[in-house]
Structures are given as C-alpha cells and as structure tokens.
Structure 1
Amino acid sequence: MATIRKEIMIEAKPEQVWDAVRDVGAVHRRFVPGYTVDTRLDGDYRILTFANGAVVRELIVAVDDEARRLAYAVVEGRMPLVHHHATFQVFAENDSRSRLVWITDFLPHELAAEIRMRVERGAEVMKQTIEAEVKAGSQCHMKGDEK
C-alpha cells in the first residue's frame, strides 16, 4: 500500500484549524474552496464535487474531537482506486500555530504521482483558506474593539 504524509504548518490556533477540518459539510467553503465547489452530506457519507467536475463519495469514518482527528475513505470516484483511507490530525505547535498532518493510504501504487499532486495542491489551499479566515476574524474583532 502506498502512503503519502503531508505536514502543513498553519498560522492559527489548533482549535481554529480543527474547527475547519471537522466541518465535514463545508469543505468547499472552509477547507478547500475553489479546489472543491460543492459538498453534500448523506448520512455518514459526503459527496464532493471538484472544480474539474469530478465527484467523489467519501465515508466519514471518525471525527474525534479529543484527538482533533478526522478519518475518511473514498468509496466512489473517477480514479481507479482499489483502496483509499486518509486522516487529518491537528497538533499545537504553540498558542497561535498548528501542524496539520494529512496521511493518505491507497492502492494501486501507480496513482502515487497523481495523488501526491492533489495532496500538495490541497495542502496549499487549506493553509491559505484557514489563515485567511483567522485573519478576517481577527480584523473583525479589532474593528469591534474600536467602537
């Protein structure tokens, strides 16, 4: 089985990063907007529509608030995946910085280059989105303090 591990340093409190990660129905707004354009929930499943029109169905395996860990598996999609399971876990680096660890296990191995490219692009969007949300929230807070 192939594994891709990506660590993303995010300038945000771990609670803020986890809040975006655990919001499984708002991936297209809070986590990877533009990369995904729609998210629909169907029980324990979510259906993601990507900017290129591709649609995948994922099983949400676990949302663990105590460990700040989300586990999911792609169960239907356009790639010929035989197996896919991934996790996100949020760790505190300090009071205002977090490390988001994304681990993806999959088969067949031949998809490694394509999946790595998707992980790299997704990681960039996640970092930008969460940091922008935190910055916008702090600016709103500062404006409220001025009144």
Structure 2
Amino acid sequence: MSTTTASIDIPVPADRVWQLIGGFGSLPDWLPYIPASTLTEGGRVRSLTNEEGGVIVERLEAFDNQARRYSYSILRAPFPVIGYRSTLTVHDKPGGHSRVEWSGTFTPAGTGEEEAIALFHGIYTEGLAALKKTLGA
C-alpha cells in the first residue's frame, strides 16, 4: 500500500475553509479541474466530471463535521490504482489561520509506486493551491 499527503497553510479561519470544502459535492466550488459534481445515494456518492469530460465516481466513507474531516474511496476512475481511500481535513492554527491536509492510500495497479504517488501528490498539491487562491489568501 502506498501513501502520500499534501498540506497547505491558509490565513483564513478553519470554519470558513470548512464551509467551502466540507460539502461532499463542493469540489467545483474550489477545484478548477472539476467543473461538475453530481450527488446520488443520499449525498454519499459523487460523480465528478473533469475538464476533459472524464468521470470519477467516489463514495463518502466517513464524515465528521466537528473535526472538519471526511474520507472517501474511489469506485471508478481512470487512475492506475486500486483500494484508494483519501481524507481531507481542515485544522485550526493560531491567529485565525488554518492548515488543510489531503492524504491518500492506494495500491498501484499497472504503474510503478513512484508514478502513482507522484500522480496523487500532484493532484493534492495543485488542488490545495487552487483552494488557497479561491479563498483569496
């Protein structure tokens, strides 16, 4: 099993960040390369459409509003991994700031471990940079 984590400090209160990213269907609100998200199964499954029209289907596995954290798994995606599970968390930092952490575990399938880790680390890093930009921070 492989893992990667990216984090970013944002000079915005954690509650405000969570208000933007805490909804399971909210990716299009802050992630430019995901322009559409459709929720099904009572909001527990999201179908994401990327900029190229590709579809990624994910299931919400755990949600903790108080801890500002949710975890999800991939049901269907064009990624060379299996057993994917990811967690997105917003932490309080002193001075009204926050730290957002995006981590994932997975098993590479049809690619090397380094390539799979680089793929998801890049997605997380670029996504968190887009989040910071969306928040005007």
Equivalent of residue 38 in structure 2, options 33, 37, 40: 40
Residue 125 in structure 1 maps to residue 130 in structure 2: yes
Partner of 2:2: 2
Q: In 2, are the aligned partners of 1:35 and 1:125 still within 8 Å (CA)?
A: no
Q: Structure 2: how far apart are the matches of 1:84 and 1:36?
A: 19
What does the per-residue CA deviation read over 1:46-85, in whole Å, with 9 as the maximum and x for residues that have no partner? 0111112221000011220111111111110112321110
Query: Normalising by the residue count of structure 2, what TM-score does the alignment of the two structures yield?
Result: 0.87
Larger Rg: 1
Which structure 1 segments of 5+ residues have no match? 136-147
What is the CA–CA distance in structure 1 between the aligned matches of 2:14 and 2:63, rounded to whole Å?
Answer: 15
Aligned length: 130
Q: Which residue of 1 aligns with 2:120?
A: 115
Q: Which residue does the alignment assign to 2:100?
A: 100
The ranges of structure 1 where at least 4 consecutive aligned residues each deviate by more than 6 angstroms after the TM superposition are: none
State how far apart, in whole Å, the 2-side matches of 1:63 and 1:19 are: 14
Q: Identity of counterpart residues, as a percentage?
A: 26
TM-score (norm 1): 0.81
Equivalent residues of 2:6, 2:121 under 8 A apart:
no
Structure holding more helix per residue: 1
2:14 paired residue number: 14
RMSD value over aligned CA atoms? Answer: 1.5
